[in-house]
Amino acid sequence: TNQEKMFLVFTEWVKLLQRVPDDDVKVTVFIRQMMDKGVIKSTENVIQFTKAAIELSVGSFKESDPASEVFIAADAFSKLIVKLLVVQVFTSLSRSEYLKLMLSVITIVFSEDQGMTGNSFNERPYFRLISSLLCQWEEASAHNFIKVQDQSYRNELIDFSPEFYNIIASFLHAFQPIAYPGFSFAWITLISHRMFLPKMLRLPGKAGWSKLVLLFTDLLKFMAQYTKKSDVPDAVSVVYKGALRVFLAVANDAPGFLVENHYELLNNLPPVYMQLRNVILSAIPKNMVLPNPYDAELRISDVEACQHVPNVYYDPVQDLKSLKKPVDNYLRIPSASLSRMVSTSLFKPGYEKDTGIGYDSVSVDTKLINAIVLHVGIEAALEKDKTTATAIFNTKSSYYTLLTSMLSDGNTEVRFHVVQAIANQLRFPNAHTHWFNYVLKNFFISEDWGQDTAEIQEIIVRTLLERVVTNKPHCWGIVVTFTELLRSSECSIMTLPFVKDIPEIEHIIKHL
């Protein structure tokens, strides 16, 4: 049958690659013959051939004895994919479509295998195929495809390379743990693969960042979904440990990625992962030296870096949806009706399970609250650059009063999530940290809350305290803000009833 012919051709390819180096002319002749004989001429045959190759690669893995080279066929297949992408001239199909076609066939076989065999599915051959594909592509693209003589052709491949990584990212998005739990650990290993993650972080023009945020979001959503308070399944806690190491490595190699994408990552991070939250929010731009946050002489307004507006890669205004107009109109011309419209739109249609510290469900739209708070901060920082600092560092400014109204109109839950959203902006020295530090300090000493004062103050203390009792790293902005409150003469935290009532808390505050 046609398929048996495909099996035969692929088997010959595997044998050939074991006998000659892959840059041997025989390899190119073999591919030339595959084309001339029509093995990969039509789309239909490409599908047939790919199906045969992936089935043989997986089959030979399952049948080989573990001690031997179980990945020979998978490695040969990944080499073939790279060769076909490099040596072919693409006319009817584009190079991207060709790669997507082959990966789609692999996805179908992968899905059937995963679905059919239940728990005896083995992720390793599929992992190896993609891992080797990344390694072989890296080798082919070394020195900007130096092995390709024709310059115009080289340029075509150089332009395609970012596309290659984004296509791989798209298929990894399809393979995410919530969709294919049997592939979870291979998946985490692939998104952090040495030939993938550094590349996606450093593609020119941040061309890989959107897909990378998507993949990290997939991971965080999976963890959020299955991190219940008490019995976190062992496998999920292993997932967490892996995620923590990956984020630490990203914070070390490419802190700018976390600095610019904190908003989206935190929208999907389970709030119980307080240390992981600190890791993400503590990322600071490379080469930035932090002033000592415990320095009693430190004045945040004197810190030069606080004049600079940090870049936010994904503009939260896109998440404001129908509230964009009311919020922006309010910032321009404040009115009670607009602020009420904002405050009443913060609730979700129903309760949603969410594992937090001290609560199990959420009835407010935390993502919307995060978006409003950060959007207001971004607009405030821009306003400061346009006009003067006093325009926004004053409790009468619309930026400040919008947040105030969200607290005074809101219930305890709203207040909690608004203060959390503000605390998420207290990071390294920048214009947002500076402004939100101002906001939180004034929230704390304000007399305008009436009988809600104690509640709002307790929420502020709790939000800051939970971030400093967590193991390091601690965010510079959090430490500076908390230190100022602890030293504040206007209001001594130690005397507040909600502190005195709980000895352990009182003891910690006194120690701090």
Partner 1 sequence: TMPAEMAAQLESSLLNCPDSLDADTPKLYQTPLSLPHPTSIFFPNET
Partner 2 sequence: YGLKALLPLIRREDQSPDYDPSMTLGIDLTPVLQSLGISSNANGRQRVLDTFPSPWVETSRSEVEPRFFVPESFTKIPSVLQSSGSKNPVFNSVQQDHAKISLFQDETLFYLFYKHPGSVVQELTYLELRKRNWRYHKTLKVWLTKDPMMEPVVAPGGASERGSYVFFDPQRWEKCQRDFVLFYNAIM
What are the residues binding partner 2 (CB under 8 A)?
135, 138, 142-143, 188-189, 192-195, 197-198, 201, 227, 229-230, 232, 237-238, 240-246, 248-250, 252-254, 272-276, 278-279, 286, 357-359, 412-413, 415-416, 455, 458-459, 461-462, 465-466, 469-473, 498-499, 502, 504-505, 508
Contacts of 161 (CB under 8 A, 6+ apart): 137, 141
Estimate to the nearest angstrom the gap between the alpha carbon of 491 and the chain centroid. 39
The nearest distance, CB 129 to partner 1, in angstroms, is 10
Structure tokens at 372: 């409003």
Q: Which does 206 bind (CB under 5 to 8 A by kind): partner 1, partner 2, none?
A: none
Instruction: Tell whether the torsion through CA atoms of 253, 259, 264 and 270 is positive or negative.
Output: positive
Which amino acid belongs to residue 94?
S
Q: Which stretch binds partner 1 (CB under 8 A): 232-240, 266-274, 448-456, 484-492?
A: 232-240
Say how far apart CA 157 and CA 167 lie, in whole Å: 14
- Pick one of 92, 119, 287, 489: the residue that binds partner 1 (CB under 8 A): 119
Structure tokens at 166: 């984004």
Structure tokens at 468: 């400093």
Q: How far apart are the first and last CA of the chain?
A: 77
441 interacts with partner 1 by CB under 8 A? no
- Dihedral-angle region of residue 131 (phi above 0 means left; psi in -120 to 50 means alpha; beta otherwise): alpha
| Residue with Cβ nearer partner 2 (382 or 469) | 469
270 interacts with partner 1 by CB under 8 A? no
Restricted to residues 137-166, the positions that interact with partner 1 (CB under 8 A) are: 139
The nearest distance, CB 229 to partner 1, in angstroms, is 12
| Residue with Cβ nearer partner 1 (160 or 187) | 187
For the chain, count helices (H), then strands (E): 25, 2
Structure tokens at 380: 């405030």
The nearest distance, CB 279 to partner 2, in angstroms, is 8
From 37, 60, 61, select the one nearest 49 (Cα to Cα). Answer: 37
Given a contact cutoff of 8 angstroms between Cβ atoms, the answer to whether 86 and 158 are in contact is: no
Q: Which does 353 bind (CB under 5 to 8 A by kind): partner 2, partner 1, none?
A: none
Say how far apart CA 30 and CA 18 lie, in whole Å: 14
Given a contact cutoff of 8 angstroms between Cβ atoms, the answer to whether 255 and 262 are in contact is: no
Binding mask 75-94 for partner 1 (x = CB under 8 A): xx-xx---------------
- Pick one of 121, 153, 240, 347: the residue that binds partner 1 (CB under 8 A): 121
Given a contact cutoff of 8 angstroms between Cβ atoms, the answer to whether 266 and 317 are in contact is: no
Q: Which does 201 bind (CB under 5 to 8 A by kind): partner 1, partner 2, none?
A: partner 2
Given a contact cutoff of 8 angstroms between Cβ atoms, the answer to whether 413 and 459 are in contact is: no
The nearest distance, CB 361 to partner 1, in angstroms, is 15
From 466, 468, 463, 250, select the one nearest 373 (Cα to Cα). Answer: 463
The nearest distance, CB 403 to partner 1, in angstroms, is 37
The nearest distance, CB 149 to partner 2, in angstroms, is 15
| Residue with Cβ nearer partner 1 (215 or 475) | 215
- Pick one of 10, 160, 165, 183: the residue that binds partner 1 (CB under 8 A): 183
Q: Which does 233 bind (CB under 5 to 8 A by kind): partner 2, partner 1, none?
A: partner 1
Restricted to residues 10-69, the positions that interact with partner 1 (CB under 8 A) are: 17-22
DSSP 32: H
DSSP 348: E
Q: Which residues bind partner 1 (CB under 8 A)?
A: 17-22, 71-72, 75-76, 78-79, 114, 118-124, 127-128, 131-132, 135-136, 139, 177, 180-186, 189, 193-194, 226, 228, 233-236, 238
